[in-house]
Amino acid sequence: MKKLIFVTGGVCSSLGKGIAASSLGALMEARGLNVRMVKIDPYLNVDAGTMSPYQHGEVYVTDDGAETDLDLGNYGRFTKAPLSRVNSITTGQVYKTVIERERAGDFLGRTVQVIPHITDEIKRRILLVADEPEVDITIIEVGGTVGDMESIPFLEAARQLIHEFGRQNAVSVHVTLVPSVSGGEIKTKPTQHAVKELQEVGIQPDVLVLRSTEALGLELRKKISSFTNVELEGVISGYDVSAIYELPLVYQNQGIDSFILKKMNVESRHAELGPWKSVVKKIKHPASTVRIGVVGKYMELHDAYKSIWEALAHGGIANNVQVELVKIDSGTLEAEAGESRVVSETRAAADKANALAGAQAGAPADTHKPVALRSSDPIDKRLEEAFAGIDGILIPGGFGSRGIEGMIQAANYARKNGLPYFGICLGMQIMVIEYARNVAHMPDAHSSEFSTTTKHPVISLLEEQIDVKAYGGTMRLGASESKTREGSAMRGAYGTESIFERHRHRYEVSNAYKDALEAAGLIVAATTPDGCLVEACEWPKHPWGLGVQFHPEFKSRPTKAHPLFAAFIAASRRYAESRGR
């Protein structure tokens, strides 16, 4: 019989259900079991592709082009489980399918209802993953908080599956909060109420993961066990740790994997956690530190670049160095010298409102123009201050015109000063625009995404995208093959000619300018197999200046850093050492 583990959350959101589910997946894999991960999101969007980073953080892209919740990124970093569109379930997908079936007459005149039709569709999607022949255990994370109206159909579907499979084959793991109040007194009442709410929908949790700042003692865990009908072995202290990759070790030390497998009558080998112990050791005891300046548009929201931060950390682990992140809002590199703080804040607020209203991934470019720099502005001094003590610059992906000129200034600074530079998606396009302006004698070079009047649109839409009006799922999405150039830094990092990486963009380097850019010295380091699209560029005679059109951060893991992030951090370490840092 297939085994299911449902992970739910109580008390409040953002408790770390995704990390808890991922850590469980890592432990089951360490025991030699074949795991699959499923994320349920209760929002009505079909996918996360058109959501603003300010509302939902980054969009994680799978090999088959699904635009999903960032928790799938955690699954990809903690486990080896394959991820595709079937691993992401939303309310929008479920209702869309049921309504389409109703319109096609599949229900033969019956009244279509939440129960059984919606819950049956949810169960079908879960079992589509769980019933794969090679799968031993499927871990299903139910987004939201127990008690939310939006989550009710999913919890009912979970209840039905637990009933149908039996408690020995389907287990409930509930993540709750154990807060401390003034004076440091720890309160268990929120957890008691959270469990009661779950019981009211018909689910008795088998395991409780208690989120707290400090490890919880035995007596407190006994108290919670007695009030919630959860065995003491199943009451786990999920306390804060300095690095999230330590959590599998924390859980395993408390026996959560042994307890769950015993309840499900599953035999396995002892957990092999050597790779995780090595990762944690390198995080806690690095040989040195490098400072990476990330120049982007959504710096105030950490989750907007979640996979970037993690991939940089993985590059640090691979090089046994600590990566210190320096977040730089690109808008601060382009403001007029005399611009007041009030004006700056007004522009930032307007941009945020724009993003929340829909000017995000794939939506039309922002309507307000970036402030132009005057010749009298002390831009060099501002750049020197921004990048003082920085050992490498990374410019990530993004959409909209805000901050673009600041990114171009950052790329120019890195190129001229021999500072390691890594451009991802938009970051590569910035690299091309800067080179066209300052080396290839095209002073007004730009992307047609940001300027309709430029005489040199070195970045432009593909012909088949020009008349596309819809935004959801209409970009170049998912994994595709690229060919790396012999002798390039790209080939050196990968060690192979053919690579497969995930894309999420509409705009490309214009082939009308490819020859002129190469004639000016820009190195095209990778292309599509037919040579039609530029996939990567490098600066000539530069220690490490590389941009890629795809998103390598989505394939990086703590136990196996992506080769480009490992190479970028290695170059940044060499730069730091050359400066005596």
The catalytic site residues sit at 425, 551, 553
Cα three-residue angle 29-84-43, rounded to 5 degrees: 105
> Which residues contact residue 183 at a Cβ distance below 8 angstroms, ignoring those fewer than 6 apart?
none
Query: In angstroms, rounded to a whole number, what is the distance separating the alpha carbons of residues 448 and 445?
Result: 9
| Interstrand relation of 3-9 and 545-548 (parallel, antiparallel or unpaired) | unpaired
Query: In angstroms, rounded to a whole number, what is the distance separating the alpha carbons of residues 49 and 473?
Result: 7
The CA-atom distances, in angstroms, between 394 and each of 198, 397, 557 are 44, 10, 19
Query: In angstroms, rounded to a whole number, what is the distance separating the alpha carbons of residues 1 and 24?
Result: 20
CA atoms within 13 A on the CB side of 434: 27
Query: In angstroms, rounded to a whole number, what is the distance separating the alpha carbons of residues 248 and 262?
Result: 18
Q: How many residues does the chain have?
A: 581
Q: DSSP class of residue 295?
A: E
Query: How many C-beta atoms surround the C-beta of residue 32 within 10 A?
Result: 12
Query: In angstroms, rounded to a whole number, what is the distance separating the alpha carbons of residues 129 and 126?
Result: 6
**Residue 9, strand partner residues:** 175
Query: In angstroms, rounded to a whole number, what is the distance separating the alpha carbons of residues 50 and 360?
Result: 7
> Which residues contact residue 428 at a Cβ distance below 8 angstroms, ignoring those fewer than 6 apart?
536, 537, 547, 548, 549
* Residue 364 preceded by cis peptide, ω within 30: no
| Interstrand relation of 498-505 and 321-329 (parallel, antiparallel or unpaired) | unpaired
Query: In angstroms, rounded to a whole number, what is the distance separating the alpha carbons of residues 493 and 538?
Result: 13
